[in-house]
Amino acid sequence: MANHVWEKSYPPGVKWELDIPKKTLHQIFEDSCAQYGDRPFTDFLDKIMTFRDYKEASDRAAAGFQKLGVGPGVNVGLYLPNTPHYLIAFFGILKAGGRVVNYSPLDAARELEFKIGDSETDILVTLDVTALYPKMAAMRGKTRLKKLIVGSIADYLPWPKNWLYPIAKKKDLSAWPRDQWHMSFKDLLGNDGKYRSHPAPENLWDEVALLQYTGGTTGLPKAAMLTHGCVVSAMAQGQAWTTPYTTPGAEKVVCVLPLFHIYALSGIMLGAVRNGNQLILYPRPDIDMIVKDLAKKKPTFLPGVPTLYTAINKHPEAKGLDLSSLKICMSGGAPLPVEVQQSFEKLTGATLIEGYGLTETSPTGAICPVDKAVRRVGSCGVPMPGTIIEIRDMEHPDRVLPPGKEHVGEVCIIGPQVMKGYWKKPEETEQVLFSHPGSNWKGLRTGDMGYMDEAGWLYLVDRSKDLIISSGYNVYPRMIEEAVYEHPAVDECIVIGIPDPYRQEAPKVFVKLKPGAHLTFDELKKHLDGKIGKHEMPVALEIRSELPKTPVGKLSKKELKEEERAKATAKAA
């Protein structure tokens, strides 16, 4: 693979060698503010703010954070949806010299308590909404949290929405006391914006900018330490890939995926910063509003997850709208079913490409070319510029497997975007990171199973922890899911392994049906016959009105596995 055979599939003018600026995230932000000052940076519920607006607000945030003691080595939490507060605080923290810790608004109280202690968060920013404030206020006295900064969505709404919002949304708002433990977001910004530029460490590029928690599907969540260099590298990779198809300073990007997730933060928000583009911010995934805005606001770039494209495909108004402004649509976070991809492209005329990455890779790893002519069905793409992907033997991890469908192994990503390690977890770090003899960069063992073809295209088979061992055979749930999705009645599906008295473990299918559709287990088995092997045939089907999802909107197996485990335990008792 030393000759990077996948480079032949790159867009015109894109090379594997990558020019990565040795700058911090906030330096790149400052550069863009200087270049695109009067350009709109965000459209938040029709409130337009320019790059200059954000430059001035983040300067004031930096000065405000420094008055609270934020500087090098200090971690500040963000517990926010997609609002201007997030962007202002994010760059304000970095300018002040601190690190950002992202918290999910869907975290349970126990998880919030753990993350506050684990990340050493003393200062945190949130909003005065009932979905957020009460949960964080409950951390007072139970955790090390010393200062809660509270903003309001009305802070950044256009008139008269800013006046009407507190009245119309009264039930959704939480009152909070004006005491020493609290601080308003307006007060944080209530200064002249003159902050101290800390003496830069010898190599600030290698300093941690973000503590980004992984999903915690096994055990307690772990925070990936993402340096300025990691994320800047990911930004450079994304920019190189899209340059032939986009115009800096002229694109409009839909930002409905949550900014607390690395896909949205790095690939969407920071990508827009680097290229001087406008973000259309959505505080929550309102599919009716998104579909209307696709026609009304004419975005050119729509990043999402498979469930977003599924929702657009089946939206009653989508077929009658002009969606021709869309240039590139990017799916990540979970495997993209071929049927969903084809239906969306037929509906919109846009190109929907798939990418692959992890929190630990900031998040890029592989991506499909925009040109449909070179696309390979079922593949999540080729390695990004500056990136090497190897398939390694699970039992002998130093052995790189040859190309071919018969050589399934662990996907390993080597590149400048790979994390520094897991925060305060040296043993877990050692288990996943390795030195690569042919590169200056670290390698990451992803835990994902896949193979590469002769041309360097990556095919994901499954996550190793999702692997089902049935009668001694490896069964990959994703292969079954792809076949299930081909049934016309199926809207969404998840396959997991459940205990089986004969096969030890066997696949079970969970399905959400399309409106008005019906499906029996016998009908499903008949549909799957010939599409999957006998050892892969599911032993059960369960129809549900909804399937569990992660905060990003990915279908989640975790809850279903826990339910089945509880059933098996109860049965055994």
Q: At what angle do helices 25-35 and 228-242 cross, to 10 degrees?
A: 40
Walk me through the domains of the chain, giving residue ranges and CATH numbers. Answer: 23-229 (3.40.50.12780), 468-572 (3.30.300.30)
Render pLDDT for 413-443 as a digit per residue (tens, 0 to 9).
999 999 999 999 999 999 999 999 888 899 9
Render pLDDT for 327-378 as a digit per residue (tens, 0 to 9).
899 998 777 888 889 999 999 999 999 999 999 999 999 999 998 888 898 8
CA distance 189 to 193: 8
Find the length of the chain: 573
Render pLDDT for 145-157 as a digit per residue (tens, 0 to 9).
999 999 999 999 9
Render pLDDT for 128-174 as a digit per residue (tens, 0 to 9).
999 999 999 999 999 999 999 999 999 999 988 888 888 778 889 99
Measured in degrees and rounded to the nearest 5, phi and psi for residue 442 equal -75, 155
Render pLDDT for 230-283 as a digit per residue (tens, 0 to 9).
999 999 999 999 988 899 999 999 999 999 999 999 999 999 999 999 999 999
- List of residues 6+ apart from 462 with CB closer than 8 A: 448, 449, 476, 477, 478, 479
Whole-structure pTM over 0.75, yes or no? Answer: yes
Measured in degrees and rounded to the nearest 5, phi and psi for residue 431 equal -70, -25
Task: List the one residue out of 45, 355, 53 whose CA is nearest residue 169.
Answer: 45
CA distance 60 to 188: 8
Q: How far lies 457's CA from each of 4, 10, 79, 320, 393, in Å? A: 11, 11, 38, 36, 18
Terminal CA-CA length for the chain: 53
Contact assessment for residue 332 and residue 390, using Cβ atoms and an 8 Å cutoff: no
CA distance 553 to 209: 25
Find how far residue 151's CA is from the centre of its chain: 24
Contact assessment for residue 435 and residue 407, using Cβ atoms and an 8 Å cutoff: no
Give the pLDDT score at 5.
Answer: 95
For residue 532, give the DSSP letter: B
Contact assessment for residue 243 and residue 13, using Cβ atoms and an 8 Å cutoff: yes
